[in-house]
Amino acid sequence: SVTLYGRLNISAESLHFSSTPTRSASRLNVLTSDASLWGMRGVEDLGGGLRAYFKLESGFQVDSGALTSTTQVFSRESYVGLGNGNWGSVQLGSQWAPGLWQSLRADPFQRFGPGGQPYLLQGARGYTLRYDNAIQYLTPTFAGLSGRAYYAAGEGQPTGRATALNVDFENGPVYAGAFYENTLTSAASVGLAGGGRASRTASFAGAYDFGVLRLSGQYQTNSTEGVPHAKGYLVGVAVPVGAGQIRASYLHRSAPNADASLMGAGYWYYLSKRTQLFVNVARLANDGTAAFRMGPAIAEQAALGPAGPGAGQDTTGFQVGVMHFF
Amino acid sequence: SVTLYGRLNISAESLHFSSTPTRSASRLNVLTSDASLWGMRGVEDLGGGLRAYFKLESGFQVDSGALTSTTQVFSRESYVGLGNGNWGSVQLGSQWAPGLWQSLRADPFQRFGPGGQPYLLQGARGYTLRYDNAIQYLTPTFAGLSGRAYYAAGEGQPTGRATALNVDFENGPVYAGAFYENTLTSAASVGLAGGGRASRTASFAGAYDFGVLRLSGQYQTNSTEGVPHAKGYLVGVAVPVGAGQIRASYLHRSAPNADASLMGAGYWYYLSKRTQLFVNVARLANDGTAAFRMGPAIAEQAALGPAGPGAGQDTTGFQVGVMHFF
Amino acid sequence: SVTLYGRLNISAESLHFSSTPTRSASRLNVLTSDASLWGMRGVEDLGGGLRAYFKLESGFQVDSGALTSTTQVFSRESYVGLGNGNWGSVQLGSQWAPGLWQSLRADPFQRFGPGGQPYLLQGARGYTLRYDNAIQYLTPTFAGLSGRAYYAAGEGQPTGRATALNVDFENGPVYAGAFYENTLTSAASVGLAGGGRASRTASFAGAYDFGVLRLSGQYQTNSTEGVPHAKGYLVGVAVPVGAGQIRASYLHRSAPNADASLMGAGYWYYLSKRTQLFVNVARLANDGTAAFRMGPAIAEQAALGPAGPGAGQDTTGFQVGVMHFF
Q: Which chain A residues touch B321 with a CB distance below 8 Å?
A: 92
Q: Which chain B residues touch C271 with a CB distance below 8 Å?
A: 46, 50, 52
Mean pLDDT of chain C: 95
> Could you give the C-alpha distances from A260 to A119, A121, A137, A263, C248, in angstroms and in order?
11, 10, 35, 10, 65
Distance between alpha carbon B227 and the CA centroid of its chain, in Å? Answer: 23
DSSP string, B247-286: EEEEEEEE-TT--EEEEEEEEEEESSSSEEEEEEEEEEEE
In 10 A of CB C97, how many CB atoms? 24
pLDDT at A307: 66
pLDDT at C194: 84
Query: ipTM of the predicted structure?
Result: 0.95
The rounded percent of chain C whose pLDDT value lies above 90 is 84
Query: Which chain A residue lies closest to B274 (C-alpha atoms)?
Result: A44
pLDDT at C133: 96
CB A73 within 8 A of CB A113: no
Are the beta carbons of B62 and A79 separated by less than 8 Å? yes
Are the beta carbons of C271 and B133 separated by less than 8 Å? no
pLDDT at B303: 84
Q: H helices within chain B, ranges in order?
A: 99-106, 118-121, 298-303
Put simply, the chain A residues between 139 and 158 with a CB less than 8 A from any chain B CB are 153, 155-157
Q: Which chain A residues touch C76 with a CB distance below 8 Å?
A: 65
Are the beta carbons of B275 and A46 separated by less than 8 Å? yes
Q: Which of B40, B50, B93 is closest, CB to CB, to C10? A: B93
Domain that holds residue B52: 3-325
**For the purposes of burial, counting CB atoms within 10 Å of the CB of A45, is it exposed (0-12), middle (13-18) or buried (19 or more)?**
exposed
Mean pLDDT (10-residue bins), chain B, 326 residues: 96 94 88 97 96 98 96 97 95 96 97 97 92 97 96 86 96 97 90 89 98 98 93 98 96 95 98 98 96 92 79 96 98
Are the beta carbons of B28 and A155 separated by less than 8 Å? yes
Q: Which chain A residues touch B8 with a CB distance below 8 Å?
A: 54, 56, 80
Are the beta carbons of B155 and C300 separated by less than 8 Å? yes
Are the beta carbons of A1 and B73 separated by less than 8 Å? no
Compute the nearest-CA separation of C133 from chain A (Å). Answer: 5
Which CATH number does the domain housing residue B217 bear? 2.40.160.10
Residue A306 pLDDT more than 80? no
Check residues A1 and C152 and name the one with the higher pLDDT: C152
Are the beta carbons of B80 and C300 separated by less than 8 Å? no
Selected for mutation to probe chain A from B63, B72, B300 (highest A CB count within 10 Å) is B63
pLDDT at C307: 67
CB C316 within 8 A of CB C27: no
- Tens digit of each residue's pLDDT (9 = 90 or more) over A3-57: 999 999 999 999 999 998 888 888 999 999 999 999 999 999 999 999 999 999 9
Q: Between B and C, how many residue pairs show a Cβ–Cβ distance under 8 A?
A: 113
Q: Which of C10, C31, C60 is closest, CB to CB, to B74? A: C60
Check residues C123 and A151 and name the one with the higher pLDDT: A151
Query: How many structural domains compose chain C?
Result: 1
Q: Which of B64, B67, B300 is closest, CB to CB, to A94? A: B64
Selected for mutation to probe chain B from C14, C63, C298, C319 (highest B CB count within 10 Å) is C63
CB B161 within 8 A of CB B131: no
* Mean pLDDT, residues C289-310 taken together: 86
* Mean pLDDT, residues C94-108 taken together: 96
Q: Which chain A residues touch B31 with a CB distance below 8 Å?
A: 92-93, 132-135, 153, 155
Q: Which chain B residues touch A77 with a CB distance below 8 Å?
A: 65
Q: Which chain C residues touch A60 with a CB distance below 8 Å?
A: 56, 73-74, 78
Collect all residues with Cβ–Cβ distance below 8 Å to A308 and sequence separation of at least 6: A17, A293, A301, A302
- Tens digit of each residue's pLDDT (9 = 90 or more) over A210-236: 999 999 999 999 999 999 999 999 999
Per-residue confidence band for C304, with pLDDT thresholds at 50, 70 and 90: confident
Are the beta carbons of A62 and C92 separated by less than 8 Å? yes
By residue count, chain C amounts to: 326
CB C309 within 8 A of CB C293: yes
Select from C186, C212, C315 the least CA-distant residue to C262.
C315
Per-residue confidence band for A75, with pLDDT thresholds at 50, 70 and 90: very high
Selected for mutation to probe chain A from B7, B64, B70, B304 (highest A CB count within 10 Å) is B64
Q: Which of C72, C82, C132 is closest, CB to CB, to A322? A: C82
Are the beta carbons of C303 and B46 separated by less than 8 Å? no
Compute the nearest-CA separation of B19 from chain A (Å). Answer: 18
Residue C89 pLDDT more than 90? yes
Question: Phi, psi at residue B140, to the nearest 5°?
Answer: -65, 165
pLDDT at B18: 94
Collect all residues with Cβ–Cβ distance below 8 Å to C277 and sequence separation of at least 6: C268, C269, C271, C320, C321, C322
Distance between alpha carbon A188 and the CA centroid of its chain, in Å? Answer: 21
Q: Between A and C, how many residue pairs show a Cβ–Cβ distance under 8 A?
A: 114
Put simply, the chain C residues between 31 and 90 with a CB less than 8 A from any chain A CB are 40, 42, 44, 46-47, 50, 52, 54, 56, 69, 71-80, 82
DSSP letter at B70 equals S
Query: Which chain B residue lies closest to A74 (C-alpha atoms)?
Result: B65
**Rounded Cα distance, C95 and C98, in Å:** 9
Put simply, the chain C residues between 208 and 247 with a CB less than 8 A from any chain A CB are none
Q: H helices within chain C, ranges in order?
A: 99-106, 118-121, 298-303
- The upper half-sphere exposure of residue B29, i.e. CA atoms within 13 Å in the direction of its Cβ, equals 8
Whether B307 and chain C come into contact, CB under 8 Å, resolves to no
Q: Which of C63, C274, C303 is closest, CB to CB, to B93? A: C63
Q: Which chain B residues touch A74 with a CB distance below 8 Å?
A: 60, 65
pLDDT at B307: 66
CB C208 within 8 A of CB C173: yes
Question: Phi, psi at residue B304, to the nearest 5°?
Answer: -75, -10
Query: Which chain B residue lies closest to A56 (C-alpha atoms)?
Result: B65
Question: Phi, psi at residue B291, to the nearest 5°?
Answer: -145, 50
Q: Which chain A residues touch C95 with a CB distance below 8 Å?
A: none
**Rounded Cα distance, C285 and B12, in Å:** 60
- Tens digit of each residue's pLDDT (9 = 90 or more) over A171-210: 999 999 999 999 998 888 888 888 889 999 999 999 999 9
Compute the nearest-CA separation of A284 from chain C (Å). Answer: 20
Are the beta carbons of A80 and B30 separated by less than 8 Å? no
CB B260 within 8 A of CB B290: yes
Per-residue confidence band for A66, with pLDDT thresholds at 50, 70 and 90: very high
pLDDT at C235: 98
Q: Which chain C residues touch B71 with a CB distance below 8 Å?
A: 66
Select from B234, B283, B279, B237 the least CA-distant residue to B117.
B234
Check residues A243 and B158 and name the one with the higher pLDDT: A243
The rounded percent of chain A whose pLDDT value lies above 70 is 99
Are the beta carbons of C155 and A29 separated by less than 8 Å? yes
Q: Which chain C residues touch B47 with a CB distance below 8 Å?
A: 272
pLDDT at B288: 93
Collect all residues with Cβ–Cβ distance below 8 Å to C21 and sequence separation of at least 6: none
